[in-house]
Amino acid sequence: MTAHGTVPVTIRAMESSNSPGGAGGGRREATRQKLYEAAVTLIAEQGFSATTVDEIAERAGVAKGTVYYNFASKSVLFEELLRHGVGLLTASLRDAAERTAEAGGSKVDSLDAMVRAGLVFIDRYPSFTQLYVAELWRTNRAWQSTLMVVRQEAVAVVEGVLREGVEADELSEEIDIGLTASALVGMVLVAALDWQAFQPERSLDDVHAALSRLLQGRVSGKP
Amino acid sequence: MTAHGTVPVTIRAMESSNSPGGAGGGRREATRQKLYEAAVTLIAEQGFSATTVDEIAERAGVAKGTVYYNFASKSVLFEELLRHGVGLLTASLRDAAERTAEAGGSKVDSLDAMVRAGLVFIDRYPSFTQLYVAELWRTNRAWQSTLMVVRQEAVAVVEGVLREGVEADELSEEIDIGLTASALVGMVLVAALDWQAFQPERSLDDVHAALSRLLQGRVSGKP
DNA sequence: GTTTTTGCACTGACTAGTCAGTGCAAAAAA
DNA sequence: TTTTTTGCACTGACTAGTCAGTGCAAAAAC
């Protein structure tokens, strides 16, 4: 499940052939990808309900019937989109933590690497992130449970590193792991979305530096 | 906006009657409040587009026509809701900062007080917060500009305190004020929403303590 | 004191339009 | 051949917004 490298993985990376013996990507999978991409942008901009299937089909350059040939319904298309996207994020976070550990870094280094991995992800898939945040705390929606499961998966990765940090006496044992993980995720999420929305010209390194500082408590006092 | 303790005192100079409920702010204002309350909950749960005007009217115990008698359109109702809610938050943050300053606290104390004020706000108006987060980073929406203005107003309060902290040599002058403010807001927002959604039984003090720790860099190292 | 008028707040059936999803025959890949 | 896609007409449910009319209390007229 671990993705390969920090090399920006495109959506296409999760591609898999649908025919058991077939080797190539397959025409069908390509169509699905086009639909994912079209849907993610439109839904991020307008929201799920305000986005019509006709729009999605048009943006994907595909007939409406094709949407229904490939997905049972509009919500199913959306749910698969969510699962797919969060899968990528989780893999990327886990990978960042593992690589740091293998390179002999501390747990704080791991956290820092995960912050960066988060930023890279958001930079690459801003629409997905937007859409995810917009839907995460909604209740009474069809895909609510999907979202919960998938969220927990991602947060658990951060919690894991925090826990190891405490066990290794590297982090204060008084920290609240769950809350701190949430707060860290929120810090990265909101800062990155603001960055994308209001200062897209700034570099990722810049943003990373600012968050690193906050993470490592180098905000108060002089350097 | 959900009902809050202090009854909004409206201009009753021109109002002819105030018979129902005694010290209320007039019949019309009462209806508007009911509509706000109904709308905020429903939109937080389902999103703007998925929420129908009929639902809002029904939940408010009012006829559909009344919605349009009181608001020009569904979006206008929503926009006024947003303005109202963020106004409350901004006032609350500013108040927290001022009170701390008057009591002779440091800038970090001010930040901490604002974190708490944010938590109190979210605790009191969870639906509003949910809805705000869900809509904030959307593009191509009618109320986009309203949202931007109102967001900047709130973030500016945090930025102001950070700036004063730097000027007073209390905070590192290397911090990026805009990004740090965003990150702090995000930290509080996401942690609080997660708290509400997944561990509502925890106390506000608990959550505040966890965030304080993060804010003050008391995460790494032993206490 | 009684009747009539005024105007605000509200009502709910109705309109005009939108959109998810269907059905199907024919064309293009594979 | 089989799988996938296309194009397009169609339906039925649902929805934002409208409008003629109601209820009512205070003011005006009688």
| The pLDDT of residue A122 is above 70 | yes
Range B1-71 has CATH code 3.40.50.300: no
Chain B interface mutation, best of A46, A132, A176, A216, highest count of B Cβ atoms under 10 Å: A176
Give the confidence band of A25 by pLDDT, cuts at 50, 70, 90: low
Predicted confidence (pLDDT) per residue in A62-96, tens digit = 999 999 999 999 999 999 999 989 888 999 999 99
Q: Are A37 and A31 contacting, i.e. CB atoms less than 8 angstroms apart?
A: no
CA distance A122 to B186: 15
The pLDDT, as a whole number, for residue B221 is: 59
SS3 B220: strand
Interface test with B, best of A108, A182, A206 (most B CBs within 10 A): A182
Q: Which CATH architecture has domain A79-218?
A: Orthogonal Bundle (1.10)
- Give chain A's mean pLDDT: 86
B63 CA: nearest nucleotide by C1':
C11
Question: Do A186 and B182 lie within an 8 Å CB cutoff?
Answer: no
Using pLDDT thresholds of 50, 70 and 90, give the confidence band for residue A28: confident
Taking 70 as the threshold, does the pLDDT of residue A116 lie above it?
Answer: yes
Alpha-carbon span B56 to B61, nearest angstrom:
9
Average pLDDT over residues A35-44: 95
Amino acid at B177: I
List, as one string, the DSSP characters of A141-184: -TTHHHHHHHHHHHHHHHHHHHHHHHHTTSB-TTS-HHHHHHHH
Identify any residues that bridge with B220 across adjacent strands, giving them in sequence order.
Answer: A171
Query: Given the structure tokens 């649908």, which residue do they identify?
Result: A18
Question: In chain B, which residues have their Cβ closer than 8 Å to the Cβ of A46?
Answer: 49, 138, 140-141
What is the number of other CB atoms lying within 10 angstroms of the CB of residue B9? 9
DSSP state of B7: P
Distance from CA of A172 to the nearest CA of B (A): 5
Number of C-beta neighbours around residue B38 at 10 A:
20
* CA B33 – CA B23 distance, rounded (Å): 15
CB atoms within 10 A of CB B17: 8
A99 pLDDT more than 70: yes
CA B43 to C1' D5, whole Å: 38
- A26-71: which CATH number, 1.10.10.60, 1.10.645.10, 2.60.40.10, 2.40.50.100? 1.10.10.60
How many CB atoms neighbour CB B40 within 10 A?
Answer: 26
Is residue A44 predicted with pLDDT exceeding 60? yes
The reported pLDDT for the residue numbered A221 is 58
Footprint of strand D on the protein (CB under 7 A): A 18-19, 26-28, 30-31, 61-66, 69-70; B 16-17, 19, 51-54, 64-65, 68, 73-75
- Which CATH number is associated with domain B79-215? 1.10.357.10
Cross-chain Cβ contact A219/B180 below 8 Å: yes
Question: Residue A123: is it exposed, middle or buried by C-beta count within 10 angstroms (0-12/13-18/19+)?
Answer: middle
Are the C-beta atoms of residues A65 and A55 closer than 8 Å to each other? no
Residues in chain B with pLDDT values less than 70: 1-25, 221-223
Collapsing DSSP to helix, strand or coil, B154 comes out as helix
Q: Are the CB atoms for B156 and A172 separated by under 8 Å?
A: no
Residue indicated by tokens 């959900």: B2
pLDDT of residue B21: 34
Domain segments of chain A as ranges: 26-71, 79-218
What separation in angstroms does the CA of B203 have from each of A18, A155, B47, B161, B195? 50, 21, 28, 27, 9
The nucleotides of chain D lying under 7 Å from a protein CB are 3-9, 14-20, 25-27
Tokens of B61: 């115990």
| Section A44-56 average pLDDT | 95
Per CB-CB distance under 8 Å, the chain A contacts of B47 are: 47-49, 134, 138
Chain segment A134-149, per-residue pLDDT in tens: 988 888 788 888 888 8
Residues 6+ apart with CB under 8 A from B89: B118, B121, B154
> What is the spatial distance, in angstroms and rounded to an integer, between the CA atom of A215 and the C1' atom of D18?
56
